[in-house]
Structure 1
Amino acid sequence: MYSLIRAAVTVLTLTAMTVTASPAAAAPPPLPRQAPAAAPPSAGTRTAPAPAGTRAMWLWNSATARPADVLAWARAQNVTEIFAYAPATLPANSTQLTRMRELKRGADTAGIRLTALGGEPEWATDHAAARAWQRAVLGTGLFAGSHVDVEPYALPAWQSGQESLAQSFVRMLELLQADDTRPLEADVPFWYGEIPLGSGTTLADQVLARVDAATVMSYRDTATGPNSMTDIATDMLTRAAGAGKPLRLGAETQPLADCPHCTFAEEGAARMSAVLAEVDRVAGAYATFNGIAIHHYASWRTMAARSGR
């Protein structure tokens, strides 16, 4: 979900699993819909990369952050989309609903897209919960689409039944896509292309075939070279371009004691800006590159204040 502990565990998981993850001995049975040709009709095709400097950000603390502060920060940082955490209980929570409506009004005035953010690892198998969440939050009319952060590899079943769990996760995305015509975007680790799923396809391909866009958790503190943001994201950038799906790269700002090279927390805001400008330049070679998303609002502001920006 949205706790800092879970976010830290996610990053460490991504660090531990490298792009050389060993494939399964035998390919699992094919999914009902495998080829990118079976992607939902709403899937778009980008023919040119997003302009350099295109930024988005995760807003996990939407229940407590002041909308005016969030919007002022977003405008100052040229953020054009906010992934705002929205629980399934949002429609029934008058205080939080009022706060989200205020954020929506300000975002509309500023020309900032507001997308509903949500996700639990358990949604990979509990499809009813995932669908109920999307119906509830999109039913408010406040969001342009869904942005899901569902990490099936955080479940124990990933170790004992990876193929089945991965197939169930893909099915969840397929159901969410079918349930609503608004765009669906998913957060993905950079190594999904190393997980075989069906004959001649991978988990990365299956995910891209069932979403309108994706964000890679390319959490590194350098732009180029070995183990850099663009290095670990190259596979997903290539696959997304082939599938015609917009793909963002993600940058981390919260401190991670066990993985300092996964975050800009130590480097500070000025260094991050310089690195991300280089990422824009390099990733801009891919037609579907969709800019950079910053994880996340609260830690980004804290990092900037600590580094004097």
Structure 2
Amino acid sequence: MSNSKLRHVKKGREAEKVGGIRGRLRILLLACGLVLLIVLLLFLLPKPSSMEKHKATWLWDTSMIEDNTNSILSFCEEQGVDVIFLQVQKKVTLDHYRSFITAATTKGISVHALDGTPDWAYKKKRSEGNDLLKWVIDYNNGSVDGARFTGIQFDVEPYQLQRWKRDQNEVVREWSDNMDSWIAEGSSHGLYMSAAVPFWLDETRAADGSESLSRWMIRKFDAVAVMSYRDSGQGMYDLARNELKQADKLGKSVWIGLELARSKEGAHVSFFRKDVPIMEEEMKTANRLGEEHPSFAGIAVHHYEEWQSKVASTESQKQDRK
């Protein structure tokens, strides 16, 4: 073979080698670019909130625990509920309470006694709150670990009464005195004390005028559940933001409330007409916003009966479409 032909063959082989290297480099660069794109997308996509498994719910129809303990707790476990506010109804036997709370405890769910009426804010009605405390304390003293109430939530809403309009300052004073008494008694027996509060309570002055009533209540109670009822996660958070900021400074806890029941105040107050997937996405939004606050305890869903019914209806519709 002539020298010229040899040089031509060598150049061809070198070109093939260079082409092969360039091809492999292109493939490597494309692979690196793809990996970088995936990492970037994972970074930009909304991250699951660490608080999605820390929900609370109110259970008003206590008679349900007599025959439906397993279904109630299974649902709560599936939905990430770890706190149940259970209304105290004395027609339900102590054994049913013990059975329910014991089963809840094994699933990592704490149960708080719940009760209150608007007129419990009055001085003359303080005894009714005292009766609730005595019932819970006596019940706990007669029950073993794991079957006891973790705390008490007071749901006292005196602004629903006519007297609030004409004599608000005095109602606030009597209400505050009652709460002081109840908190002292409950705390002395190791109970976690909380209250359900409206979102606008930060616009009302405390009895002594030195701070807002919401800040006073957050300072006194271990936690509050803010009834920040709106049909969007952003809206719920916006209504609870002041209470969250106050609780951040005071080292207390705040649940952001979500309403599922039909409301006379308008469709914007509740998820009653919203589909479950939409509601769940809005819950995630509220969680992501709320978890920026050290005080955020999770979403509190009002209430279990509506929630379970809504989810069950959605599941039934899915089955019907199959």
Sort the TM-score into its range (normalised by shorter chain).
Answer: 0.7 to 0.9
1:99 deviates by 2.1
Residue 282 (str. 1) matches residue 282 (str. 2): no
Q: Which residue of 2 aligns with 1:24?
A: none
1:97 deviates by 2.4
**Which residue of 206, 214, 236 maps to 1:229?**
236
- Which fold has the larger relative contact order, with Cα–Cα distance below 8 Å and residues 6 or more apart in sequence? 1
5 Å-filtered alignment, 1:32-43, equals none
CA distance in 1, matches of 2:133, 2:186: 8
| 1:28-77 deviation per Cα after TM superposition (whole angstroms, max 9, x unaligned) | xxxxxxxxxxxxxxxxxxxxxx9321101101011134212211111111
5 Å-filtered alignment, 1:143-162, equals 143-162=149-168
5 Å-filtered alignment, 1:297-308, equals 297-308=304-315
CA distance in 1, matches of 2:137, 2:88: 10
Pair 1:119–1:302, CA change in 2 (3 A): same
Q: Which runs of 5 or more structure 1 residues have no equivalent in the other structure?
A: 1-49
| 1:249-302 deviation per Cα after TM superposition (whole angstroms, max 9, x unaligned) | 010111225411111121122111111111111111111111111111110011
Aligned length: 252
**Which residue of 77, 101, 106 maps to 1:104?**
101
User: Are 1:67 and 1:99, in contact at CA under 8 Å, matched by a contact in 2?
Assistant: no
Residue 138 (str. 1) matches residue 137 (str. 2): yes
Q: Which residue of 2 aligns with 1:55?
A: 55
Query: Where in structure 1 do 4 or more consecutive aligned residues deviate above 6 Å?
Result: none
Q: Which residue of 1 aligns with 2:211?
A: 201
Give the residue type in structure 1 aligned to 2:153: H
Q: Which residue of 2 aligns with 1:81?
A: 83
| 1:202-224 deviation per Cα after TM superposition (whole angstroms, max 9, x unaligned) | 11122112111000001111122
CA distance in 2, matches of 1:247, 1:210: 13
Q: Which runs of 5 or more structure 2 residues have no equivalent in the other structure?
A: 1-48, 141-147, 317-322
User: Are 2:56 and 2:300, in contact at CA under 8 Å, matched by a contact in 1?
Assistant: yes
> What secondary structure is seen at the aligned counterpart in 2 of 1:140?
helix
User: Are 2:86 and 2:111, in contact at CA under 8 Å, matched by a contact in 1?
Assistant: yes
**Which residue of 70, 73, 97 maps to 1:71?**
73
> What secondary structure is seen at the aligned counterpart in 2 of 1:307?
helix
Cα RMSD over matched residues?
A: 1.6
> What secondary structure is seen at the aligned counterpart in 1 of 2:82?
strand
User: Are 1:220 and 1:261, in contact at CA under 8 Å, matched by a contact in 2?
Assistant: yes
Give the residue type in structure 1 aligned to 2:274: E
Give the residue type in structure 1 aligned to 2:87: Y
Percent identity, please.
28
CA distance in 2, matches of 1:174, 1:243: 17
CA distance in 1, matches of 2:305, 2:93: 18
For normalisation by structure 2, the TM-score amounts to: 0.75
Residue 249 (str. 1) matches residue 256 (str. 2): yes
For normalisation by structure 1, the TM-score amounts to: 0.78
User: Are 1:280 and 1:291, in contact at CA under 8 Å, matched by a contact in 2?
Assistant: yes
Give the residue type in structure 2 aligned to 1:64: M
| 1:66-115 deviation per Cα after TM superposition (whole angstroms, max 9, x unaligned) | 2122111111111101111113xx3xx4x432322221121111111011
Pair 1:208–1:103, CA change in 2 (3 A): same
Residue 179 (str. 1) matches residue 178 (str. 2): no
CA distance in 2, matches of 1:57, 1:139: 24
Q: Which residue of 1 aligns with 2:119?
A: 122
Q: Which residue of 2 aligns with 1:239?
A: 246
User: Which structure has greater helix proportion?
Assistant: 2
Structure 1 window deviating more from structure 2 (121-130 vs 60-69): it is 60-69
Q: Which residue of 1 aligns with 2:197?
A: 188
> What secondary structure is seen at the aligned counterpart in 1 of 2:297?
strand
User: Are 1:138 and 1:145, in contact at CA under 8 Å, matched by a contact in 2?
Assistant: no
CA distance in 2, matches of 1:146, 1:134: 8
> What secondary structure is seen at the aligned counterpart in 2 of 1:180?
helix
CA distance in 2, matches of 1:151, 1:257: 17
CA distance in 2, matches of 1:281, 1:104: 30
User: Are 1:55 and 1:80, in contact at CA under 8 Å, matched by a contact in 2?
Assistant: yes
Pair 1:232–1:73, CA change in 2 (3 A): same
Q: Which residue of 1 aligns with 2:44?
A: none
**Which residue of 223, 228, 237 maps to 1:218?**
228
CA distance in 2, matches of 1:51, 1:144: 23
Larger gyration radius, structure 1 or structure 2: 2
